[in-house]
Structure 1
Amino acid sequence: MAAAMTTTATWFDEAEMTTVAPPMPNFAPIRFGYFVGIGVIIPIGFVFNVLSILVLVWSRILRNSTTGLYLIALSVADTLFLIGELLRWLDTDDHVPGYRFLVLSDATCQFVFSIRYGAKLTSAWITVAITCERFVIVAFPLKAMTSCTRKVAGTTIAVVYLVCFALGCFPVLSIGLDKWAGEIQCLITDHAWYERGSWLVLRVGSLLLPGIIVIVLTVLIVVNLARAKVVRRRTLNEERVGTSAAARAQRWPTRSSIESQLTAMLLAVALAFIILRLPYTILYYVNEYKSKLWRPLDRFFSYRIYVATKVTDLFAATNYAVNFFLYCLTGSTFRNQLRIVFGCNRKRSGIRKSYTSATTHNTAFSNDKIPMSVIQRYSNCHRQQQEQQEQQHDHRDAKSANADHVSDHVTDHVSDPVDNGANTTVTPPVDPHVKRVPTNGNFSEF
């Protein structure tokens, strides 16, 4: 069994190193298909993970949030895994002849698999940390104000990275260069140590335990979000929301809408983690213990299990490459920041920034500091709101006059309390709550 295990060490993964697959002649197309699939996933994942890091670091909104810190850490871990996977992929001399990075020294052999295992473990537990934080925010919003801070997030990320990469270094004690079939190859040198490390880091640490935690917390998050949606809908039906507030909420996302987008992004990450890794987790253990589950084990049935394991392994590998697309699909804030990074949204961003600064700080701006298009746009908007409010006010006054049978003329000042018809000043009704907007478009009034 040891000899069979070392034969697959150059092109080894978790499923192959711990299980002896039956020597069948049609293993070559399966290996080649896996080789091509990984070769497609690696460059796509690397490019878009780096792009995710750039957008998250560039965006002040995402960078200053705890969620943004976790997503940056997740993208870095996924990128490190893909780098290690690339080095192993290039060493497959059956398909990439002439390049043997793994056999340069014991250090290179151990480094490649240490970075792969450490990054895989880190990615899994960063996903767990993301899901835990979002659960606290959704289920316990008051506690989240003190527990979900940037300091806590930074400390969590640092601890996860240190512990996971320390555990992922077990190949230093169990993998090295050795001669097999007349060639120097990167092989397992200590099967006992490798079996312990593989069980802790790869089977339980990267697959089983994170999967269970993410599944449970994701279900709880969805349940709490459904309850909150019912309560919010009931509250909105009872309240009357002003037109101007609704219009502003549609044009510029509030903090609550940004939090909703972040929740959607993180739920997408958690669901992708479950959907893409769960089949491989199940088949990994089926392939590991198939000789004990089926006795006698049919050779063709064992081969089918092996093929299914390799296919689901490809799906699991895509989990390290698809997060960018999930962010774009579920977060409009991320999409807007992506446009800004590529210079496609500068004009729109400048308009939003000017309006936000004017309304938030309530500062008087001169016309030379604000573009004329902005002034005209919001002057027209407020003028229309003013006209609507005046029409509603006139309608209410007319109804009140008919009900109380009062006179058509309203006097502000009466010089003689006896002579009500003399020296009176007729003024139109004035609503003190209506804010007048100057015709020159100056924002100092509002």
Structure 2
Amino acid sequence: MSAIAGHHHARTKDVSEKVQDILNGQANVVAIVILSGGKCGLSKCVTRYLVGMAAADLLVVISNPLLRMTAGIYFPGSFLQITPVCRVSLWLVFASTATSVWLTVAFTLDRFVAICCEKLKTKYCTERTAAVVIGTVSVLACLETVPWGFVFGPREIIDGVPWYCDPTSSFTNSPSWGAFELFHRILNPCVPFILMLLLNTLTVRRILAASRARRGLRGRKGGENDKDREMENRRKSIVLLFSITGSFILLWGTTVVFSIYRRISMRLIDSVTDPRFITQQTSVMLQIVSSCTNTCIYALTQSKFREQLKNAVKYPLNRILKLMKR
């Protein structure tokens, strides 16, 4: 999330960024439709997590750039700018972002268990468990972000109606609110950073050890030239996992560093030319980009996903050609 101070400067967002938001939403819709078909060669458990992550990312796109930013630019004075509605839309931004972050952690944990915990794998890595984890994570993320709905107050009151949302003075100056924001920033996404790095490190160690053992065993059996299908499947799974978690860490890095700096410095942003404002908006852009990168990752790492994507593109074109021939 962007820093709260100066959030209304989002009106400087240009047309290219709005196009990017629309493409982000479309990419997530395409991912949900294709993955839900179950024809990408992935287990039902993995498919559940990927669909859940794509749905959370889609909600981030809808709530943040579309409802919060674009609506304020193209529909000034609409009901979306009334303070109670504005508060709800801002809370949705925090809730959907937290859900997206922790679902990524849940997916990383699932793959860690599948690769490193053979005894627990059969009980944990199931479609039912994935559904329970996704539901639990979503509910807890929504509850944890409820206080953000009380951070904002009206910027002005016109004919008794409160308009727009600005951080209240109590939030800006209160040590209690400062402690809450620090807790939130640690929970989203500092802790996920650490967890994903730790789980990925342990997973890599296990895979390397298993690979050496299998190569030695196959070498003794004289099958070193045969294609090891199991290791090939593991390799594809790890490429998918590391691509998702790696892009998350890279794209969220600026947000984490800037939020820590802003709370330590306690300096307000002066204008849109302030380097801190530019850094803030850059972190927002990278965070929004992270909401559509998973679809690109699927396309780059999963051949069956690419095949289903091609079929989805060809289908309407084939229908149009058939209608034209008739």
User: What TM-score results when the alignment is normalised by the length of structure 2?
Assistant: 0.80
The alignment status of 1:213 with 2:191, answered yes or no, reads no
Residue 55 of structure 1: SS of its match in structure 2?
helix
Aligned to 1:127: 104
Aligned to 1:69: 48
TM alignment of 1:246-395, pairs within 5 A: 257-291=232-266, 303-342=274-313
Q: Select 1:233's aligned residue among 201, 204, 215.
A: 215
Contact 1:258 / 1:333 at 8 angstroms: preserved in 2? Answer: no
Contact 2:28 / 2:58 at 8 angstroms: preserved in 1? Answer: yes
Q: Select 1:87's aligned residue among 31, 54, 67.
A: 67
Unmatched tracts of structure 1, length 5 or more: 1-12, 22-26, 345-446
Identity of aligned residues (%): 20
Shift of 1:227: 2.5
Q: Relative to 1, partners in 2 of residues 1:105 and 1:306: Cα closer, same or farther, differing over 3 Å?
A: closer
The alignment status of 1:103 with 2:81, answered yes or no, reads yes
Q: Which has the larger helix fraction?
A: 2
Shift of 1:212: 1.4
Distance 1:199 1:101 in 2: 32
Shift of 1:101: 4.5
Contact 1:77 / 1:120 at 8 angstroms: preserved in 2? Answer: yes
The alignment status of 1:136 with 2:113, answered yes or no, reads yes
The alignment status of 1:150 with 2:130, answered yes or no, reads no
Q: Relative to 1, partners in 2 of residues 1:112 and 1:57: Cα closer, same or farther, differing over 3 Å?
A: same
Amino acid at match of 1:226: L
Contact 2:83 / 2:163 at 8 angstroms: preserved in 1? Answer: no
Residue 102 of structure 1: SS of its match in structure 2?
helix
Shift of 1:235: 2.9
Amino acid at match of 2:293: V
Amino acid at match of 2:310: R
Q: Select 1:56's aligned residue among 35, 58, 72.
A: 35
Shift of 1:242: 11
Contact 1:49 / 1:321 at 8 angstroms: preserved in 2? Answer: yes
Residue 304 of structure 2: SS of its match in structure 1?
helix
The alignment status of 1:163 with 2:140, answered yes or no, reads yes
Shift of 1:215: 1.7
Unmatched tracts of structure 2, length 5 or more: 316-326
**In terms of Rg, which structure is larger?**
1
Shift of 1:197: 5.0
RMSD over aligned CA atoms reads 3.5
Residues 23-47 of structure 1 show CA distances to partners (whole Å, capped at 9, x for unaligned) of xxxx98x973x55564243112101
Structure 1 consecutive aligned stretches of length 4 or more whose deviation exceeds 6 Å: 180-183
Q: Select 2:181's aligned residue among 198, 221, 229.
A: 198
Contact 1:41 / 1:317 at 8 angstroms: preserved in 2? Answer: no
The higher relative CO (CA closer than 8 Å, separation ≥ 6) is in 2
Contact 1:264 / 1:330 at 8 angstroms: preserved in 2? Answer: yes
TM alignment of 1:30-41, pairs within 5 A: 32=12, 34-36=13-15, 38-41=17-20
Residue 289 of structure 1: SS of its match in structure 2?
helix
Equivalenced residues, count: 306
Amino acid at match of 1:273: F
Amino acid at match of 1:325: C
Q: Relative to 1, partners in 2 of residues 1:168 and 1:62: Cα closer, same or farther, differing over 3 Å?
A: farther
